[in-house]
Structure 1
Amino acid sequence: MNPVTVQPTGISPADVLAVARGDAKVLLDPSTVDAMAASRAIVDGIERDGRPVYGVSTGFGALANTSIAPERRAELQHALIRSHAAGVGAPMPREVVRAMMLLRIRSLALGRSGVRPLVAQALVDLLNHDVTPWVPEHGSLGASGDLAPLAHCALALLGEGWVLGPDGGRVDAADALAAAGLRPVELAAKEGLALINGTDGMLGMLLLAIADAGHLFAMADVTAALAIEAMLGSFRPFLPELHEIRPHPGQAASAANILRLLQGSEVMDSHRDDLAHAVQDAYSMRCAPQVAGAARDTLAFVETVAGRELLSVVDNPVVLPDGRVESTGNFHGAPLGFAADYLAIAAAEVGAIAERRVDRLLDVTRSRELPAFLSPDAGVNSGLMIAQYTAAGIVAENRRLAAPASVDSLPTSGMQEDHVSMGWAAAKKLRTVLDNLTSLLAVELLAGVRGLQLRAPLTPSPAGRAACAAVREFAGDPGPDIFLAPVMEGARTVIATPTLRTHIEQDLGPLA
C-alpha cells in the first residue's frame, strides 16, 4: 500500500482508512514541517516576552487564571498529559486509535498549534512502528475534544502508560518504544495541550463508520431484494418513474438497486401477471427504498460534516500567522456528535425494516406459501424461528442506542466547561449500531436465501443465485435443523466483506 503523506491541505477519508485498517505508512510533507516550525517560533517568542497566554503560561480549564513560572512550563505539559490520561474500561480497537493518531498529526501539521515538528514526527513514528497506545473506552465528553483518549496516546510518546500488545493485552510504553528503537519525547510549552485538544477520536470513529455504513446500506438493498423475490413481491414499486416524482436522491438510488437486483428471475416471472401477488405488497417490501434511501441521504449529510472537519484546525488556543494566539471553541464536538446520532438513527431503521421482512418470510400466513419458519419439516424442526428472535432483540437494542448522546451534556471543570458534546459517546454507539446492522442483514440474507431455495425448481435472479451460492457453502440446503450460531457468523462475514457484492456487481454493474 502506498504511504499516506500528510499535506498542508490535510488528508482524505481514504487516507484515514488506509492507515487505520490497511497499516499504510505515514509521511510528513516538508511544507507541513515548515508550517509547524513557523508557528513554534511564535510560541517561543511568547515565552521570551513573558506574555500571559492560556496553556502556555497558565493552567488549564478552571485553572486558566493560575500563572505558571517559566521554569515549570515544561513540567506543566507533562503533568497535563498524566492527569488527563484518566480513562477506564476496555481498550478501544486498534483501528480507532490509529485513526485518532493520524488525525492528530493532521491537525498539528496545519501549523496552527505551535508545536515543534518533532512532536508530530513522534506520532508518525508510533504509527509506522505499529506502536498503538492503550486507550480506554470511557473518558471523553467531547468537550475540549477527546481529552482523555488523546492524553493516553500522548502518554505513550513520553514513554509512560501502556500500549496494545500483540495478543491484545497491554505492555509498558517504555518497553514498546525501546523495542521499536524510539525515544521518549520531552515536551515544551504548549505541546501537551496541543496533543489532546481535538476531536480526533470522534472524527476517526465517524470516518470508519461512514465507510461501513456505505457498504451496509448497499447490502441492505441486496438482502431486501432477496426477501422480496422470495416472498413473490412485485417489482413495480421500484420503477424509476415512481421515484422521479419524489426526488430524494437516496430513495432513487435504492429503488434502482432493488429493481436491477430483481431482474432475470424465474421466481419473479412466475407471478408477474398474478394480481394476488402484485397489487400492494406490505410496507416493509414496498417502502424499502424510502427507508434505505433516507438513510443514504443521512449518510451524505454526515460525509459532508466529516469532510469539513477534516479541513478544520481543532485546537485551543490556536497560533495565527500574524502572531496572535487566540482561544477558540473549535474543539467542541457538537457537529460530529449530532452527525453520529443522526446516522445511528438511520442505520437502526434500516435494520428494523429488514427484521420485519424476516418476520414475514417466516410466517406461514404471510410468506405466500413458503413453509413455516422456512423449514421443510416444521414441527420437529424450528427452522429460522430463533434467528428472528435474535434479530428482534438486536432491533430493540438499536432503538435504545439510537437515543441521541449529544443531548446529554454534563458540566465539568468547575463549570468552566459547562456544556459538552458527548461526541465520543455518539460515535462509539454508532459503531455498535452498525455492527448490529451487520447481524440483522445477515439474518435477512439467510432467510431470503432459504426462501429462494424453497422456491425450486424456479431459478432466482442472478443476484439471488450468487447469494444462494455464497450461503450454501456454510449453511447447505434446506433440511433438518443444524447448529445455527456458526451459520449466523458465516452470514455476518458475507454481509461485512465485499465478496458477494463484488460477484453481484460483476453481473449487474456497480450498485449505488
Structure 2
Amino acid sequence: MGKNLPVFHFGKDTLTAGQALALARGTLKGVLAPDTRSRLRMGETIVRNIADGSHPVYGINTGFGPLCTTRISPGATSQLQVNILKSHSVGVGPLLEPELVRLMLVLKIQSLAQGYSGIREKTLDRILWHLEEDVLPEVPSQGSVGASGDLAPLAHLFLPLIGLGRVRYHGGVKPAAEVLEAHHLNPLELGPKEGLALINGTQFIAAHAVAVIEKMCACLSQADIIGAMMIEGLQGSVKPFHQALHQLRPYKGTLHVAERIRNLLQGSEILEDHIDCDRVQDPYSLRCIPQVHGASRNAWLHLKELLEVELNAVTDNPVIIDQELSISGGNFHGQPLAMALDYACLATSEIGNISDRRIYLALEGNNTGLPTLLMKDTGLNSGYMILQYTSAALASENKGLCFPASADSIPTSLGQEDHVSMGSISGRKALQVLGNVEKILAIELLTAAQAFEFRKPLKSGWLLEQAHALVRSRVTFAKEDRIFAEDIEVGLELIRSGALIRLIDKTAARGDQSLATAFDPLFETY
C-alpha cells in the first residue's frame, strides 16, 4: 500500500461504508493507534485471567453452543480455539469475490479493535497483514444462518491464521501454509477465546450490506437520469415533479427525486414543444417516478443508517466489559441488517419493475412522433421488441428473489440457537437483484436514447443532452435490426462504471453550482 495514503485508525475512528470500501480497495490505509493497542493488551490480560480462573465463562473455559456447560482445562484452551475454526469451516457454494473478502477483513478488524473481545495485538496485526498484502482466504458463500455470527464464512476467513485453508495470492490460489512460509511467518497459536472472537460477528452480512449500499446508490441515481431521458422521449409532463406537490407529502426520497428530475429537464425545448398538448396525465411509470424511486431511496437510507451502527459495533460473544463483567449476550444476531437487506432487495426490485414498464411504454407506438417498437421499418425488422422480453424476464426473476430470507428461521445448535436471522441469504439475494436491475437499466438506457433521438431537432436540457451524447458515443442509433445483446453489454458497462453519474455531476457543477447540490446530498454519500 502507498505510503502517502490517508490513514484510518481501527477501533478509534468511526467507520462508514465508503471508508470500508476505500480500505478494501487500498485507497485508505488502516492502522492500529497506540491507545487501541493498549486497550487490546488489557483485554488479553482479562481473558487470560478468566481462562486460568475457576469461574465458568462461555467459550473461554467452556465448550460451545450446547456444550456450554462442559468445562475446559486451562491447558486445553488453545486447542479449543483451533478446534472451533476447524469444526466451523463447513461453508459450501461459490467462493466470495475478492472485494467481499477484503471487506470482511476490514469489518472484523474494526469490531475486534474496539477492545471488548480479548483478541491479542499479534492476531490483529496478522489480519492486517492479510489485508495489506492482499493474501485473501477462500471463503465459500453459503453456510451461514446469520445468528451466532456468520460462523462458517468467518471460520474459513481465519483458517489461514493457523496455517490451514487456501488463499488467493498474486493471481493464483495456494495453501495458506505455503504463503506464510514464503513470508517467513509461522501459523499463530491462538490464545483463550480468540477462535470464538474470530467467528462470532456479522461481518459476512455487513460486507454484503456495504456492497449493496454502493451498488444500490448507483442504480437509484442512474434510474433518475434514465427516467428523465425517457420522459423526454415519450413527451411526458414535468408538472408531476412540481415542488408544491411534493411538499404536501414530504418524504425525503420523494423530494430528492422530484428535484433531480426537475433539474435534469431544465431548459428543455422538448417540454416547451408540447406544453399545450391535450394529454391530461401520463402513465404511472412516468408520472410516479418520484413516489416509486423515492420510496426505494428511503429504503436505501434506512439500510445506510443501520449499517453505520453495525460497522462500529462489537458483535462478538461473550463481550468482555472489564475484569469483573463478561456478558454472554446476542450482539452477534444478524436480524437488524437481515430485515433491512430484505427491504433493500424489494426496493431495488421495484426500480427494475418500473423501468421495465417504461421500456414497454416506449415500444407501444401510442406517442406522437415515436414509431412502434422504436423503428420506422418494422415488419422486416423487429425493432426493440425483444429487448423488453429480457427486461421482463429479469424483473420476473427478481420478484422470486424478493421473498424475505429474514422471514424464515430454522433452529440450530440442538436448540441453543432457536431463532436465526438468515441475514447472509438476505445479503446475497440483494446483490443478485442489483445485478439484474443493472441489466434492466442498461436496456432502458438504450430504449430511452432511441426514443430521445426521434425528438430531434428539438433539444432537451443541457444535462440530458450530455447524457445522450455519452450513450451515442458508445452505441449508435438503430435503423435496422442488429445483435442487440452487444448493445446491451455496452449499456451495462456504462451502468456499472457509473459514467453517467460522473458526467451529470461534473456537468451540473461546471454549469450551475446550485444544480450541483442536487446531485450530491444525503442520498449520494455513504
Q: Does 1:324 align with 2:325?
A: yes
The alpha carbon displacement at 1:71 in A equals 1.7
User: What TM-score does the superposition give when structure 2 sets the normalisation length?
Assistant: 0.93
Task: State the secondary structure of the residue aligned to 1:170.
Answer: strand
Question: 1:243 corresponds to which residue?
Answer: 246
Question: 1:152 corresponds to which residue?
Answer: 156
Question: 1:397 corresponds to which residue?
Answer: 397
Q: Does 1:424 align with 2:427?
A: no
Q: 1:268-417 alignment to 2 at 5 Å?
A: 268-276=271-279, 279-364=280-365, 366-417=366-417
Amino acid at match of 1:26: G
| Residue 184 of structure 1, aligned match among 184, 187, 190 | 187
CA distance in 2, matches of 1:359, 1:34: 62
User: What TM-score does the superposition give when structure 1 sets the normalisation length?
Assistant: 0.96
Task: State the secondary structure of the residue aligned to 2:405.
Answer: coil
Q: Describe the superposition over 1:431-457 as per-residue Cα deviations: whole angstroms up to 9, x where unpaired.
A: 111111111111111111000112222
Moved more, 149-158 or 173-182: 173-182
Question: Which segments of 5 or more consecutive residues in structure 1 lack a partner in the other structure?
Answer: none
The alpha carbon displacement at 1:493 in A equals 1.8
Decide whether the 8 Å contact of 1:42 with 1:114 is kept in 2: yes
Distance 1:74 1:29, change over 3 A: same
Q: 1:483-502 alignment to 2 at 5 Å?
A: 483-502=483-502
The alpha carbon displacement at 1:26 in A equals 2.2
Decide whether the 8 Å contact of 1:10 with 1:110 is kept in 2: no
Q: Does 1:71 align with 2:72?
A: no
| Residue 60 of structure 1, aligned match among 64, 78, 83 | 64
CA distance in 2, matches of 1:232, 1:99: 44
Distance 1:496 1:22, change over 3 A: farther
CA distance in 1, matches of 2:181, 2:381: 59
Q: Does 1:121 align with 2:125?
A: yes
CA distance in 2, matches of 1:261, 1:409: 45
Amino acid at match of 1:17: L
CA distance in 2, matches of 1:353, 1:223: 12
Distance 1:459 1:328, change over 3 A: same
Amino acid at match of 2:359: V
Question: 2:85 corresponds to which residue?
Answer: 81
The alpha carbon displacement at 1:501 in A equals 1.7
Task: State the secondary structure of the residue aligned to 1:406.
Answer: helix
Distance 1:23 1:177, change over 3 A: farther
The alpha carbon displacement at 1:385 in A equals 1.5
Q: How many residues align?
A: 508
Q: Describe the superposition over 1:111-146 as per-residue Cα deviations: whole angstroms up to 9, x where unpaired.
A: 100111111111100000001110001111001110
Decide whether the 8 Å contact of 1:338 with 1:423 is kept in 2: yes
| Residue 6 of structure 1, aligned match among 10, 20, 38 | 10
Q: Describe the superposition over 1:243-281 as per-residue Cα deviations: whole angstroms up to 9, x where unpaired.
A: 0111111101101111111122222221111123xx200
Decide whether the 8 Å contact of 1:147 with 1:196 is kept in 2: yes
Question: 2:175 corresponds to which residue?
Answer: 172
The alpha carbon displacement at 1:180 in A equals 4.2
Question: 1:25 corresponds to which residue?
Answer: 29
Question: 1:464 corresponds to which residue?
Answer: 464
Decide whether the 8 Å contact of 1:9 with 1:110 is kept in 2: no
Name the % identity: 40
Q: 1:221-236 alignment to 2 at 5 Å?
A: 221-236=224-239
Amino acid at match of 1:451: A
Distance 1:477 1:22, change over 3 A: farther
Distance 1:234 1:144, change over 3 A: same
Distance 1:280 1:3, change over 3 A: same
Amino acid at match of 2:255: A
Moved more, 225-234 or 257-266: 257-266
Amino acid at match of 1:239: H
Distance 1:122 1:339, change over 3 A: same
Amino acid at match of 2:77: R
CA distance in 2, matches of 1:84, 1:322: 29
The alpha carbon displacement at 1:353 in A equals 0.5
The alpha carbon displacement at 1:23 in A equals 5.5
The alpha carbon displacement at 1:27 in A equals 1.1
The alpha carbon displacement at 1:9 in A equals 4.7
Task: State the secondary structure of the residue aligned to 2:31.
Answer: strand
Moved more, 67-76 or 121-130: 67-76
Distance 1:470 1:182, change over 3 A: farther
Task: State the secondary structure of the residue aligned to 2:167.
Answer: strand
Amino acid at match of 2:327: E
Amino acid at match of 1:274: C
Q: Describe the superposition over 1:287-328 as per-residue Cα deviations: whole angstroms up to 9, x where unpaired.
A: 011001111111111111111112321111111124322101
| Residue 145 of structure 2, aligned match among 135, 141, 148 | 141
Query: RMSD between aligned alpha carbons?
Result: 1.6
The alpha carbon displacement at 1:358 in A equals 0.5
Q: Does 1:193 align with 2:196?
A: yes
Amino acid at match of 1:503: L
